Every structure is written in structure tokens, then in C-alpha cells.
């Protein structure tokens, strides 16, 4: 049965991908999760009305048409995007924000141009340190705060793409048509949609979306003094079976995905006895930088009863996915093994 997106709010539009669509390496555009702080533009802007401005700490400010960007050398890269708040609802202790389960993540093959090439053309000044992105979406709410985010210059130069294509199609309106930023391996908040202005700064951009949110803080702590959410955490998810599913005994195909942001997943192990023993899962499908790995584990189960399944990823640096995630007020970065456990009933 085909499931619909799980819509958490209409205004702004926030919806997560149902598990069944997380079982393929490519997440189809139609079911790719959507996360918005503001109002999605109502209709695609005519390309003749659109331009990209690059200004700030540069010797040569630029205003580029879509055609000029389209004619530049094209890069094609895979990249898994995860919303910073994905899995927030799976924390035992409540955290504030959209109640994502595991579907605030997706993988796509993106076509576009390297941000580095545009920044090189604009001739960066010596005091350039951060790159701020601004989209065309209109803020919601009376404060009218624009979603402007900046990333460090090193990230902008080493591994950031401006994408106009998603899985072989023009970037869909929902996902930022005609152009979006992608800080590869970093959370969605660093990937501004409907991009139309890039400002090179001598320091991080200051504003609500930089200083008050996308920070990992505890109660009573000033968000601005806390860690900024950047790279996607090492994590694995079980996409089949689903929570509380009833299954017959025999051979059960356990499916899942594992991802590590800028790092690389090396191994996934599975437990079907609530963490007592662990078995290696087998990777299936493509293996590309910045993209998740799909995995499977064939579980032979003979006795009926309740079973708790868990998966745990290790990256090539030897880092292990934590058994429990670090809680923070806004519930970012939940990558705990236990928080993602799936309990099933085996019947006859
Ligand atoms: N202009 C703009 N870009 C944005 C946002 C936004 O509200 N406005 N939301 C960000 C957040 S928090 C996430 S998780 C990703 C989601 O990208 P998607 O909707 O294409 O999945 O977009 C990011 N880019
Ligand atoms: Mo996000």
C-alpha cells in the first residue's frame, strides 16, 4: 500500500517521508521530506526574472542569470540531507519542535555548479570568512524574520554545491526552484532553498536562524554560547519492519539505512535481542560520498514473542553511533541506537 507524506504542519509546510520510501537509495522527489520556516513561493519564478547576486567581501560583485550558471561546468553529486531535528520525537525527554520520527531525511543525486567556482570568480577579499545564503521565500509570523544562514568559507570552498537539478529533474518548487545551496554532508538548515543572494562576510551572519536555533543548548543556557549544528551525525535507521509490526516466524528481511554526513559509514551491526548480541548487516546498493548506505539483515526467527531490534553504525574513523543520543532543548541530532529501536511481535 502506498503511504502519503506525514504532514506535520501546512503553514509552514512540514512533512516527512514514510518509511517505505526510505528503503531505496534514491528518495523520489515526490516523497522527499519538506521542511520550511517560511512560505514556499506560490509558483516557480520565471527564469528571466531570477538572478543570483554575489556580494560582500569580494572584489568583483556578480549578478548572474540562470543561463550563465547553467552554462558553467556541471557537477553531479549524491548527497543525503537530514533535517537537524529529525528523530526529535524519539527522544525520551520531550524536545521542542516538529515531531519528526525517522523520515526527515532523504538521499538524492543533485546536478549543479560548485560554489567554489562562483566564489573564485567574485575574487574573495582576504577578510572573507563566512558565506551567507538568502532565499526568496517570505517569512511567516509577525516578526518577519528571513531564513538567512551562513557557513564557514572553508566549507563553501571545499564541498558546497549550488543545485538546479534533483534526481534528474529540474529542482522542484518545494525543494528550492530554481537553485538551492547544498553544504554536502551538513544538515538541511545549511542548505538554503530558492537561493537568490550570497553575501560573503568577515564573520558568521547574526540573526535568529543563526543564534537562537540550530544550536545545541541546555535549559538555562544562552543558545548563542552553544554548539552550532553543522555536519550530520553518524546514524542508522531501521526502515523495515516497522514499530509494533506483527510478523510470522521464519525469515524476516530487516532493512535500513546508515549515514555519516561528511564521514563514511564502514559497518552496521544488528541486534534482535535488545542489544545483547550483534550481527553484521550486509550493505546493498550504491556507495557514494555524502550518501547513505542501504543495508539488510536476514533474520531467522523461530520462536514467537516480542523482539527489540536495533542497528548500530561505525564510521571509517572507528567512531560508533552512540547507544543514547545527547539531549538538547531543541532536540537536534538524535542519533541514538536505543531511541531508534524497533519492537515487533512474532506470531504464528
Ligand atoms: N529558503 C529556505 N531554505 C531552507 C529552509 C527554509 O525555511 N527556507 N529550511 C531549511 C531546513 S531547516 C531544511 S531541513 C531543508 C529542507 O529541505 P527540503 O525541504 O528540500 O527537504 O531546507 C532548508 N532550507
Ligand atoms: Mo531542518
Could you tell me the distance, in angstroms and rounded to a whole number, from the CA of residue 193 to the centre of ligand 1? 6
Q: Whose CA is nearest to atom 19 of ligand 1?
A: 34
Q: What is the pLDDT of residues 170-228, one digit of tens each?
A: 999 999 999 999 999 999 999 999 999 999 999 999 999 999 999 999 999 999 999 99
Q: Please give the average per-residue pLDDT across 294-300, as a whole number.
A: 98
CB 297 within 8 A of CB 307: no
Distances (CA, A) of 93 to 2, 103, 323, 327: 32, 20, 16, 8
Distances (CA, A) of 248 to 99, 137, 143, 239, 302: 31, 49, 54, 18, 9
pLDDT at 348 over 90: no
| Cβ–ligand 1 contact at 331 (below 6 Å) | no
pLDDT > 70: percent of the chain: 100
User: Tell me, what's the pLDDT at 219?
Assistant: 97
Could you tell me the distance, in angstroms and rounded to a whole number, from the CA of residue 73 to the centre of ligand 1? 25
Question: At 311, is the secondary structure helix, strand, or coil?
Answer: strand
Ion ligand 2: residues, CB < 5 A: 35, 83-84, 188-189
Q: What is the pLDDT of residues 111-138, one digit of tens each?
A: 999 999 999 999 999 999 999 999 999 9
20 DSSP assignment: G
| Cβ–ligand 1 contact at 192 (below 6 Å) | yes
pLDDT at 72 over 80: yes
Q: Please give the average per-residue pLDDT across 46-69, as a whole number.
A: 98
Domains of the chain: 6-228 (3.90.420.10), 235-347 (2.60.40.650)
pTM for the full predicted model: 0.97
Could you tell me the distance, in angstroms and rounded to a whole number, from the CA of residue 125 to the centre of ligand 2? 31
Q: Kindly report whether the peptide bond that precedes residue 87 is cis, defined as omega within 30 degrees of 0.
A: no
Q: Please give the average per-residue pLDDT across 307-313, as a whole number.
A: 98
Give Cβ neighbours of residue 313 (< 8 Å, ≥ 6 apart): 234, 235, 236, 258, 259, 260, 265, 267, 268, 320, 321
| Cβ–ligand 1 contact at 194 (below 6 Å) | yes
User: Tell me, what's the pLDDT at 111?
Assistant: 98
Could you tell me the distance, in angstroms and rounded to a whole number, from the CA of residue 115 to the centre of ligand 2? 21
Query: Which strands make up the sheet holding 305-315, listed edge to edge?
Result: 246-248, 342-347, 305-315, 265-271, 279-280
Measured from the Cα of 181, ligand 1's closest atom is: 24
Could you tell me the distance, in angstroms and rounded to a whole number, from the CA of residue 342 to the centre of ligand 2? 24
User: Tell me, what's the pLDDT at 3?
Assistant: 82
User: Tell me, what's the pLDDT at 279?
Assistant: 98
Q: Please give the average per-residue pLDDT across 50-60, as a whole number.
A: 98
Torsions phi, psi of 186, nearest 5? -100, 160
The residue written with cell numbers 509552514 in the block is 12
Strand partners, 257: 237, 294
242 DSSP assignment: -
pLDDT tier at 169 (50, 70, 90 boundaries)? very high
User: Tell me, what's the pLDDT at 177?
Assistant: 98
Amino acid at each position: 500500500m502506498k503511504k502519503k507524506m506525514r504532514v506535520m504542519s501546512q503553514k509552514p509546510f512540514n512533512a516527512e517521508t514514510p518509511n517505505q520510501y526510505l528503503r531505496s537509495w534514491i528518495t523520489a522527489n515526490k516523497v522527499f521530506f519538506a521542511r520550511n520556516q517560511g512560505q514556499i513561493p506560490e509558483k516557480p519564478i520565471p527564469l528571466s526574472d531570477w538572478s543570483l547576486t554575489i556580494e560582500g567581501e569580494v572584489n568583483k560583485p556578480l549578478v548572474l542569470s540562470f543561463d550563465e550558471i547553467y552554462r558553467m561546468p556541471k557537477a553531479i553529486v549524491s548527497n543525503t540531507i537530514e533535517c537537524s531535528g529529525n528523530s526529535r520525537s524519539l527522544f525520551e525527554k520531550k524536545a521542542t519542535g516538529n515531531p519528526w520520527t525517522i523520515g526527515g531525511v532523504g538521499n538524492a543525486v543533485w546536478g549543479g555548479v560548485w560554489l567554489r567556482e562562483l566564489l573564485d570568480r567574485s575574487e574573495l577579499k582576504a577578510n572573507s570568512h563566512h558565506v551567507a545564503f538568502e532565499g526568496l521565500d517570505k517569512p511567516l509570523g509577525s516578526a518577519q524574520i528571513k531564513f538567512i544562514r551562513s557557513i564557514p568559507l572553508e566549507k563553501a570552498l571545499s564541498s558546497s554545491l549550488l543545485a538546479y537539478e534533483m534526481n534528474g529533474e529540474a529542482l522542484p518548487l518545494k525543494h528550492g526552484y530554481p537553485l538551492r545551496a547544498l553544504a554536502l554532508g551538513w544538515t538541511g538548515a545549511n542548505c538554503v532553498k530558492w537561493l537568490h543572494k550570497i553575501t560573503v562576510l568577515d564573520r558568521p551572519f547574526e540573526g535568529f536562524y543563526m543564534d537562537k536555533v540550530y544550536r545545541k543548548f541546555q535549559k538555562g543556557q544562552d543558545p548563542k554560547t552553544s554548539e552550532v549544528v553543522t555536519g550530520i551525525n553518524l546514524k542508522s535507521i531501521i526502515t523495515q519492519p516497522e514499530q509494533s509490526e506483527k510478523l510470522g516466524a521464519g525469515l524476516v528481511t530487516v532493512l535500513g539505512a546508515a549515514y555519516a554526513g561528511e564521514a563514511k559509514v564502514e559497518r552496521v551491526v544488528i541486534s534482535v535481542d535488545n542489544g545483547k548480541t550483534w550481527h553484521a548487516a550486509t550493505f546493498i546498493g550504491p556507495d557514494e560520498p555524502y550518501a547513505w548506505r542501504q543495508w539488510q539483515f536476514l533474520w531467522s526467527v523461530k520462536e514467537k514473542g516480542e523482539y527489540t531490534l536495533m542497528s548500530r553504525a561505525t564510521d571509517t574513523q572507528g567512531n560508533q553511533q552512540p547507544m543514547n543520543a545527547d539531549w538538547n532543548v531543541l532536540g537536534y541530532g538524535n542519533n541514538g541506537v536505543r531511541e531508534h529501536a524497533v519492537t515487533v511481535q512474532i506470531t504464528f
